[in-house]
Amino acid sequence: MQATDTPAELTRPALAGWLRLQQTGGVGLLTAHKLLEALGTPQAIFEASRERLLEIVTARQAANLLSPPTGAAADEMESRLDAMLAWQAQPGHRLLPVTHPDYPDYLRNIVAAPLLLYLKGDASLLARRSIAVVGSRNASRQGVLNAERMAQTLSEAGVTVVSGLALGIDAAAHLGGLNGPGGTIAVLGTGIDRIYPARNGALARRIAEEGCVVSEYPLGTPPSRDNFPRRNRIISGLARGVLVVEAAEKSGSLITAQLAVGQGRDVYAVPGSIHATLSKGCHQLIREGARLVESGYDVLSDMQMLTDGEAGARSALDDSFVDLVLDAMGADPVQAEVLALHLNQSPGELQGQLLALELAGLLERLPGGMFQRLRL
């Protein structure tokens, strides 16, 4: 399916076409994509002859496509159009159809890509290189810490962190993503105007301001157990790879990993104790071919997302360099910018070196861009 040049904001007629295509009886996502591949736009689909449609779909589907909504159905569609246009008109809100050039190619090319995305926040994040970080809702304290640190490592390398706004690992991944320039994308299993779980409301609002919130579901769609596994294909579809931090044997995160494999994405898993229930899903993934990783750096290295300076940082830890940086840090927390000034280095160069020192266990990254030495 080729992207077409369309305006940033959908007009009422254009939006009506997408809404009608989504609501046509007997026409699912796969059939809708076949029609778009053949005819280009919803408007072209509804203007096509019966004979042309029968080359693509069944007689019943063709009949449904040629029968516009009437009566109460038409009134309901007009009401929904009013709500969608009002929502789109708000600052930071956007409706993005699958044929738009800004629609992310990685997602467009999966099976059953969403026809229409609701976006709130920085839509440009969808075009950046990204990694999905997912895991258990009932995560351990160590798992939450691992997820946030690994996501922050990814974000500080300019990689956007994608997750599902659930409690536990997802929330920690979003926080880590927000702590770096890569940012984060939250994919919802509800309408974009409905935040679930409610406990993550403040986090969702922060992501909408500093990152991007995404949903394929119509406005007002409540939480439904069927929506979240379906949502997972978008999480993996937006990302170049999927990192599972903690997962039980029947975790929803394993669904995301399975979808990622089907989409040709790389899958990474963090190992844990053989006695830990929340490690069993990760161990299963590793047995099935997922790459074992212990840090965000491992993911970045495997996916070749490091600059030459970052990739060489680990091998550059000679004693004189370590002593120079640790002496400059002193005993108190210090900001990277202050440390870079003291060492007469650019902040960009120093970030890779600080990452290597962190991975070596010589310093700890603190909130607010601060660093604390661990070897006194």
Residue 316, domain CATH = 1.10.10.10
3 assigned to some structural domain: no
Residue 352: predicted pLDDT: 64
Q: Are residues 236 and 319 in the same domain?
A: no
Q: Are residues 144 and 272 in the same domain?
A: yes
Q: Could you list the residue range(s) of the whole structural domain that residue 313 is in?
A: 308-373
Q: Are residues 31 and 69 in the same domain?
A: yes
113 assigned to some structural domain: no
Q: Are residues 83 and 143 in the same domain?
A: no
| Distance between CA atoms of residues 269 and 246, nearest Å | 8
Residue 4 pLDDT > 90, yes or no?
A: no
Mean pLDDT on 89-102: 96
Mean pLDDT over all residues of the chain? 89
Residue 134, H or E segment: strand 130-134
The percentage of residues in the chain with a pLDDT greater than 70, rounded to a whole number, is 90
Q: Which of the pair, 352 or 111, is modelled with greater confidence?
A: 111
Lowest mean pLDDT among 26-30, 52-56, 312-316, 340-344: 312-316
Residue 365: predicted pLDDT: 77
The percentage of residues in the chain with a pLDDT greater than 90, rounded to a whole number, is 74
Which CATH number goes with the domain that contains 150? 3.40.50.450
Residue 313: predicted pLDDT: 46
Q: Are residues 284 and 324 in the same domain?
A: no
Residue 376: predicted pLDDT: 46
Residues across the chain: 376
Q: Which residues of 101-119 are buried (b: 16+ CB within 10 A; e: fewer)?
A: ebbbebbbebeebbbbbbb
Could you read off the pLDDT of 128-147 as tens digits, one per residue?
A: 999 999 999 999 999 999 99
Could you read off the pLDDT of 310-357 as tens digits, one per residue?
A: 444 444 445 556 777 888 888 788 888 888 888 877 666 676 677 767
Domain end residue (candidates: 279, 302, 325): 302
101 assigned to some structural domain: no
Q: Are residues 221 and 357 in the same domain?
A: no
Mean pLDDT on 246-262: 90
Q: Are residues 287 and 314 in the same domain?
A: no
Take residue 305 and report the two structure tokens written for it.
């997302």
Residue 112: predicted pLDDT: 92
Q: Are residues 360 and 248 in the same domain?
A: no
Could you read off the pLDDT of 176-219 as tens digits, one per residue?
A: 999 999 999 999 999 999 999 999 999 999 999 999 999 999 99
Q: Are residues 298 and 315 in the same domain?
A: no
Q: Are residues 128 and 31 in the same domain?
A: no
Residue 291, H or E segment: strand 291-292
77 assigned to some structural domain: yes
Which CATH number goes with the domain that contains 45? 1.10.150
Residue 142: predicted pLDDT: 92
Q: Are residues 223 and 287 in the same domain?
A: yes
Domain end residue (candidates: 302, 326, 342): 302
22 assigned to some structural domain: yes
344 assigned to some structural domain: yes
Mean pLDDT on 12-37: 95
Domain end residue (candidates: 268, 283, 302): 302
40 pLDDT band, cuts 50/70/90, is: very high
212 assigned to some structural domain: yes
Mean pLDDT on 69-86: 96
Q: Are residues 128 and 77 in the same domain?
A: no
| Distance between CA atoms of residues 99 and 8, nearest Å | 12
Mean pLDDT on 270-293: 94
100 assigned to some structural domain: no
Residues 169 and 254 sit within 8 Å (Cβ to Cβ): no
Lowest mean pLDDT among 9-13, 92-96, 207-211: 9-13
- What letter would DSSP give residue 268? E
Residue 13, H or E segment: helix 12-23
Lowest mean pLDDT among 128-132, 245-249, 361-365: 361-365
Domains contained in the chain, number: 3
| Distance between CA atoms of residues 118 and 43, nearest Å | 20
Lowest mean pLDDT among 99-103, 252-256, 303-307: 303-307
Residue 150 pLDDT > 60, yes or no?
A: yes
